[in-house]
Chains A and B, each alone.
Chain A
Amino acid sequence: MSELEIQVAAGVDTAGGAKTAGRGRVTAVEVIAGLLAALLIIAAIAPRLLAPGDPLAIDPRAAFGAPSWTHWFGTDESGRDIYTRVVDGAHDSLLIGLTATVIGLGLGAILGVIAGTLGAAVDFTVNRFLEVLFAFPGLLLALLFILVFGPGPGSAIVAVGLSTAPGYARIIRAQLIRVRSSAFVEAATVQGLSRRRILTRHILPNTLAPLLVLGTLGVGQAIVWAAALSYLGLGAQPPAAEWGAMLSAGRTYITSAWWMSFFPGLFIVLTAVCATALGRSIERRMRHA
C-alpha cells in the first residue's frame, strides 16, 4: 500500500512542483505509452484483430516450443500459442485493473469526503478506521476477502478494490482539507454563501478532479495486484489466459521454457508502466492547464 500512497501522494500533493519540462509538448514517453495503451485497448476489446488464433486451442505435440516465426512468443506446456494468450489476457487484466480501481476510488472518495466534511468526530472515527486497515498490508486484506468469499475473477476485483480504498480515502481527505482552507473558499465564505453551496460548487469539484490522475496511476497497481492474486491461484481459473495465471503456470518450467513466464511478466510490467506514465502526463497537463 505504502508504495502506491507515496507514489500518488508525490504526484498529487507536490502541487506546483517545478516541472517546467515540456508543459505543452508531447514527449516521447507519452507517445510510446499512448501507442501501447491504444494497442492494449484494442487487444482488450477486439483481441482477434491482433491475434486471430484461439487462445485455448491446445496442440500437445507442439508443447514447450521456443519463440519462432509461427509462435512469436513460443508455446506453453499444452502447445497453446503464448502470443495469442497474452493478447487475449489483456481483456481480463485491464478489466480487473479498471474495475478494481473504480471500486477502490469510489469507496475511497466516499470515505474521504465523509471524513473531510462531516466534522471532527466523524473525521476522527474514519481516520482511526483507515489506520486499522493500513495496519494490514493491502494484499493481505485482499487475501482475507478471497478466503471469505472464495476464489475467482469477481472476488479478485472486489478484493483489490477494497484493499486500495484506504489509500485513496486518505489522499482525498487531505486534498479536501487543503481545498477547504484555500483562499477562494475563504472568499466564498466571506461572501456569505451557504455551506452546502461552498461544498458542492467549490470544494468537491476541486477535490475530485485529481481522481482522474489517481485512477490512472492506480490502474497499473491494480493490474499488478490482480496478477499477483491469479499467480497465487486465487483469481482467474484455468484455462483463462490471465497474465498472472500464465506467469504462475510458467514458473514451473522457468529453467527449461523461460518464454512461458517472460512474456506474460513483460506485459504486466509494460501495462503498469504505461498506466503510470499516462497518469503522470495527465497530472502534469492538469497542473499547467
Chain B
Amino acid sequence: MPRPGILRSAPRSATLAVLAGTAVIGLALTGCTSAAPTGDTATAVEGGTLTYASGDAEPTCLDPHVGGNYPQALVSGQFLESLVSLDSDGTVIPWLADSWTVSDDGLTWEFTLKDGVTFTDGTALDAAAVQANIAHLQDPATGSSTGYLALAKVTGTEAVSDSVVRLTLAQPDSALLESLSQPWLAIESPTALERSQDENCAAPVGTGPFIVDSWVKQNAITLVRNDDYTSPPADAAHDGPAYLDSIVWRFIPDSASRYAALQAGEVDVIDNAQPDTITQAEASDTIVHLDAPRPGASNRIELNSGKAPFNDAAVREAFIRSANVDDAVASLFQGSAARSYSALSSVEPLGISRPDLFDYDPDAAAALLDEAGWSEKDSDGYRVKDGVRLTVVFPVSTNQSIPAEQSLFEQIQATAKETGFDVQLTKLDLSSWYTALGSNAYDAVSAPYTKVGPDVLRILFDSAGITPAPSGYFANHAQLSDPELDSLLAQASATNDADTRADLYADAQDIVLEGFYILPLYDQQNHFLLSSAVEGARAMPTVSTPAFYDAWLTS
C-alpha cells in the first residue's frame, strides 16, 4: 500500500507565514477565511501555487469517463471525487457516499449520499446525479472503457430518495466498491454532463477541492481552489477548502528536463521519476521521494496468444525463458524496482507469485523451440520454421514506458536474440500505439492497467476482453481465451466469501502464469519527487494518484 503521505511539523509562526505568503504571491483570497486548524495540520500554511510537472501523456479529454486512462486519473483526482475511497489498509471508506448497504443476494446496493454537497457549478449532489453519471459511463457514445468495464454488471439505477441511490446488478459483484472508488468512476455534475462532449472534456465539473480554470493545450492546466468545498474523503487530514490557492499542472514529457525543473525550483512536484534521478534525489535534502506502486496488474509483457508464433504455449515459454529480466532490472532500476513474478501488483493481497516459472534459462528455451519445430536458424541467427522467421513485433508506447523501461525492452530483445527470436521494437506515440493494438499488429506488448483489487484479472484475461469496449480499446492483450479461466473469474467476482474468493483468484492466476501468457517485470512504477517545501501531499490509496487537498507550501 502507498505510504499515507508526508506530514512534518513546521514552526508555529503560521499566521505570519500566511500573511507573508499571501502578500508575496499577491493572489486574492476570494472571501475565504483560513480553515479551522485541527489536529496535526495546525501549522498548515494557506495560499500559494503548487506547480506539478507530469511526464505522462497530456490527456485529450479531462473527463475520465471518456476512455479512462492513468494520465486522466492523475489530474482529474484534483477536481472530481468518487462515491467511496480506500484507507491505507485497503478498507473501503466513505467519500461522497456516507454509507451503503447490500442485499443478501448481492444484487441490490443502496448508497446514501453525503448531505449538502454541491458541484462547483451549483448543481446539488443527489441520487439523480449519480444515476446520470452511471448512465453517462454506460452510454456507448461516451466512449468509456475503464468505467464501462467496471460497471458491466450494473443493469439499473433508481433514486430511492433524494439522497439514496439504488444500483441493481445482473450478478453479484464482489469488486463493485473497489471499482467505484476509482477516479474513472468519479461523479460529475449532471448539468455539466449535458453539455457537448468537447465542452465537458475541456472542463469537467465535479465536487472536488479544485476547479478547472483553464487548459492551454501542450502546456498546462490551471486549477483553482474550490472555496465552498465540503466533501473530503473520510481519511483526509483536515476539513474545509484546500490550503493551496491553485495548482498549475504542466506537461514536461522529457524526464531529464522534468527533474531539472524540480531542481531549479521551477516546479514543486514531478511524477514518473527516473531510477537514476531517484537515486540522486534520495541523497538530497531538498527533494523528497514518494514511492506509490500502482494497484491492479503488475507491469508485464503480454504475449499475444491469438496468433502465431505465440499461439503455441511452448514458444511463449521459450520467449520468457530466453529473456534475461533480472540483470536488466538490477542495472537499469538501481534498486528502485523489485522484480515481480505475479500477474498482480505487490500491493494486492490476493496476488500470487511464481518465481519458479520465470527463470532465465536460454538452454531450456532453445530446447523448447527445437521441439516446437523452430529448429533451423537463418544467416542472421534467427530461428525459422517453414521459411518464416521467428519474429516478435513489439510496439512500445513512449508515453507509457519510461526510458529505463524502453532500455529494458532492448535488453530483452538482445537476450532473446541469442535464442533466435527476432524482437522488433517500434517506438510509438500513444495514438499510433493504440492503432497497432487495435489492428492486432503486435505479438508482445507492455500495457499498464491500473484497477483497485484482483478483479483486474477479469478485465485483462477474461475472453470477453478480446472484444473492444466502446472506446475501441480492448484490455485482453494476451488474447487469452480459456472457458475454465472465464468461469473461475466469474465465480470469484460473484462470491462474497473472502476465502473462496482468494482461492478462485489463486487458481485463475495459476492458469495465466503457467500458460506463459505474460512475462511479469515489476510493479507499475509510480515514483513522485517533491520539493521539501511541499507538505501534506499524499498518494491516494485507491490508484496511487497524487492528492493535494491536504498539501501546503512552507515557503
Contact (Cβ within 8 A) B256 A249: no
Chain B residues contacting A249 (CB-CB under 8 Å) are 403, 407
Chain B residues contacting A60 (CB-CB under 8 Å) are 324, 327-328, 330-332, 411
Chain A residues contacting B280 (CB-CB under 8 Å) are 255-256
Chain A residues contacting B277 (CB-CB under 8 Å) are 255
Cα distance A151–B254 in the bound complex, in angstroms: 20
Contact (Cβ within 8 A) B425 A256: no
Q: 6 more A-B contacts (CB under 8 A) besides A77-B403, A239-B414, A254-B256?
A: A58-B414, A60-B332, A78-B407, A238-B413, A249-B407, A255-B280
Residue of A nearest to B413 (CB): A239
Contact (Cβ within 8 A) B331 A251: no
Q: Which residues of B322-339 have CB atoms within 8 Å of chain A's CB atoms?
A: 324, 327-328, 330-332
* Nearest CB on B from A218, distance (A): 28
Contact (Cβ within 8 A) A237 B256: no
The number of A-B residue pairs with CB atoms under 8 Å apart is: 72
Chain B residues contacting A255 (CB-CB under 8 Å) are 256, 259-260, 276-277, 280
Interface check A56, CB cutoff 8 A: yes
**Residues of A that sit less than 8 Å from B by CB:** 56-58, 60-61, 63-64, 77-79, 151, 233, 237-239, 249, 251-256
Chain A residues contacting B330 (CB-CB under 8 Å) are 60
Q: Show 11 residue pairs from A and B whose CB-CB distance is below 8 angstroms, ordered by the A residue.
A: A57-B414, A58-B414, A60-B327, A64-B331, A77-B404, A78-B414, A239-B410, A239-B425, A252-B274, A252-B276, A253-B256
Chain A residues contacting B409 (CB-CB under 8 Å) are 238
Which of A61, A151, A251 is within 8 Å of B256, CB to CB? A251
Q: How many residues of B contact A (CB 8 A)?
A: 32
Most buried by B among A57, A78, A237: A78
Q: Which residues of B38-58 have CB atoms within 8 Å of chain A's CB atoms?
A: none
Contact (Cβ within 8 A) A77 B407: yes
Interface check B419, CB cutoff 8 A: no
Contact (Cβ within 8 A) B331 A238: no
Chief secondary structure at chain B's binding surface: helix
Interface check B255, CB cutoff 8 A: yes
Residue of B nearest to A62 (CB): B331
Contact (Cβ within 8 A) A238 B427: yes
Which of B254, B328, B398 is within 8 Å of A251, CB to CB? B254
Q: A61-B331, A63-B332, A79-B331 are in contact. Are A252 and B413 (CB under 8 A)?
A: no
Which of A58, A78, A233, A253 is within 8 Å of B276, CB to CB? A253
* Nearest CB on A from B262, distance (A): 12
Chain B residues contacting A56 (CB-CB under 8 Å) are 414, 417
Interface check B219, CB cutoff 8 A: no
B133-156: contact bitstring with A at CB < 8 Å (1 yes, 0 no)? 000000000000000000000000
Cα distance A79–B330 in the bound complex, in angstroms: 12
Cα distance A233–B406 in the bound complex, in angstroms: 12
Interface check B179, CB cutoff 8 A: no
Contact (Cβ within 8 A) A151 B332: no
Contact (Cβ within 8 A) A233 B427: yes
Q: Which residues of B279-319 have CB atoms within 8 Å of chain A's CB atoms?
A: 280
Cα distance A79–B428 in the bound complex, in angstroms: 25
Most buried by A among B332, B410, B413, B415: B410
Chain B residues contacting A254 (CB-CB under 8 Å) are 256
Chain A residues contacting B256 (CB-CB under 8 Å) are 251-255
Which of A77, A78, A233, A253 is within 8 Å of B398, CB to CB? A233
Interface check B60, CB cutoff 8 A: no
Contact (Cβ within 8 A) A237 B414: no
B388-413: contact bitstring with A at CB < 8 Å (1 yes, 0 no)? 00000000001000011011011101
Residue of A nearest to B324 (CB): A60
Please provide the 10 A-B residue pairs with the shortest distance between their CB atoms, ordered closest to farther.
Answer: A60-B331, A60-B327, A252-B403, A63-B331, A58-B414, A233-B427, A77-B407, A238-B425, A239-B410, A238-B410
Cα distance A56–B328 in the bound complex, in angstroms: 15
Cα distance A233–B324 in the bound complex, in angstroms: 25
Interface check B161, CB cutoff 8 A: no
Q: A251-B254, A256-B280 are in contact. Are A78 and B411 (CB under 8 A)?
A: yes
